[in-house]
Amino acid sequence: MSMKSLRVLVLICSTRPNALGPAVGAWLTSTLTPSARALGVELAPVALGDLQLPFLDEEEHPARGVYQHEHTRQWSEAVAAADGFIVVTPEYNYGMPATLKNALDYLGGEWAWKPVGFVSYGNTSAGTRAVQHAKQTTSTLRLVSLGSTVALRIADAQQQGGFRPADHHARAAVDMLEELARVGHALAPLRAHDQATPGPLPGSYVKRLHLDDGPHVTVLQRCCWVDEAIANNTLELPALHETPAQVRQWLADWHATGLWHAGRLLGMVRTVRHGSALRIGRLAVTPDLRGRGLGRWLLRIAETRSQGCDHILLTTGADSSRNLAFYRKQGYAPLPATNNGEISLRKDLAS
């Protein structure tokens, strides 16, 4: 399960002058803010009217992601950066507003594998028919609709000249946000898979590691460096003791690549340039998948970052015979041993 925070767009759909939508959106955001902080959710209200999207005017099909107009590109960036959505919608003639349908139709893959919750408002049906209508479109776009919803009857929510839904509506909104957070984290591997490069195993993918991946890296390191500690008769290996905060520190300085499958970090490698040298470090593959060529594959990925360098350097334990044999086979030559229990290896690159 993903450990990163979630960015959730709160889409205010009505564009009529003096519409109730902004008041519903303001109530919702205010109601959810304490729970959002606790859940690690960032709420970002977006009024569809402010987007100024004309009726779909792109020549290419949205599935291709080829956009000619700046308004489309900006909308695409906003949706792509989101991890989920809450749609605040009225009901117009038993259906959703044309503004919502149009905003959905503009894009394709940007919506995929993200949760969507609905807050509806109306008269007799409290807007629920608009939600059912909208779900036909959102499901086609691979958005995942939540079971929890909030349905507001306008007459009941209007009190003393203002918009004041009952307490049970506030509780329903919090329940919806909690479900959205759970589903959003659970779907994170599918979103990452769609946005990443395919890996060497079926269903695996490779992507750069970021600060939010620190906990995953910490777990992988502690699994992988036990054999290194045994081979070199020492527990004084940084990879065994680094906290997630310390991992985040080096993730900010190194270019680290991770191999993933279904949200599990299977392997990693990191690189950094020092003058004319590319330094490779922390090459690791989870113990249950060793011997399947994944280490060699990750090493090749790291070596592709050597453009402009004349040699590559890496280090392993002086008594790590398996590692030394592996690196020699990949063209690395050991340098004179130091007295710190490590051996550096060098691979010269053709000029």
SS (H, E, C) the chain: CCCCCEEEEEEECCCCCCCCHHHHHHHHHHHHHHHHHHHCEEEEEEEHHHHCCCCCCCCCCHHHCCCCCHHHHHHHHHHHCCCEEEEEEECECCECCHHHHHHHHCCCHHHCCCEEEEEEEECCCCCHHHHHHHHHHHHHCCCEEEEEEEEEEHHHHEECCEECCCHHHHHHHHHHHHHHHHHHHHHHHHHHHHHCEECCCCCEEEEECCHHHHHHHHHHHHHHCHHHHHHHCCCCCHHHHCCHHHHHHHHCCCEEEEEEECCEEEEEEEEEEECCEEEEEEEEECHHHCCCCHHHHHHHHHHHHHCCCCEEEEEEECCCHHHHHHHHHCCCEECCCCCCCEEEEEEECCC
CATH number (3.40.50.11720, 3.40.50.150, 3.40.50.360, 3.10.180.10) of 6-188 reads 3.40.50.360
State what percent of residues in the chain have pLDDT above 90: 75
Residue 5: pLDDT over 50: yes
- The arithmetic mean of pLDDT across residues 186-215, rounded, is 87
Model confidence pLDDT, tens digit, residues 146-191: 999 999 999 888 876 678 898 999 999 999 999 999 999 999 888 8
Give pLDDT, residue 168: 95
Mean of pLDDT over the chain: 92
**Better-scored residue on pLDDT, 12 or 337:** 12
- The arithmetic mean of pLDDT across residues 240-264, rounded, is 93
Q: Which of 65-69, 112-116, 184-188 has the lowest mean pLDDT?
A: 65-69
Residue 264: pLDDT over 50: yes
CATH 3.40.190.10 is right for the domain spanning 204-348: no
Do 6-188 and 204-348 show the same overall fold?
A: no
Give pLDDT, residue 3: 55
Residue 195: pLDDT over 80: no
The tokens for 176 are 């919806």
Model confidence pLDDT, tens digit, residues 236-245: 899 999 999 9
Q: Which of 66-70, 184-188, 226-230, 312-316 has the lowest mean pLDDT?
A: 66-70
Residue 102: pLDDT over 90: yes
Give pLDDT, residue 1: 46
Model confidence pLDDT, tens digit, residues 115-130: 999 999 999 899 999 9
Measuring CA to CA, which residue among 244, 236, 270 is closest to residue 255?
270
Domain boundaries, the chain: 6-188, 204-348
**Better-scored residue on pLDDT, 194 or 289:** 289
Residue 286: pLDDT over 90: yes
- The arithmetic mean of pLDDT across residues 203-209, rounded, is 89
- The arithmetic mean of pLDDT across residues 316-339, rounded, is 90
8 A C-beta contact, residue 57 and residue 22? no
Give pLDDT, residue 294: 95
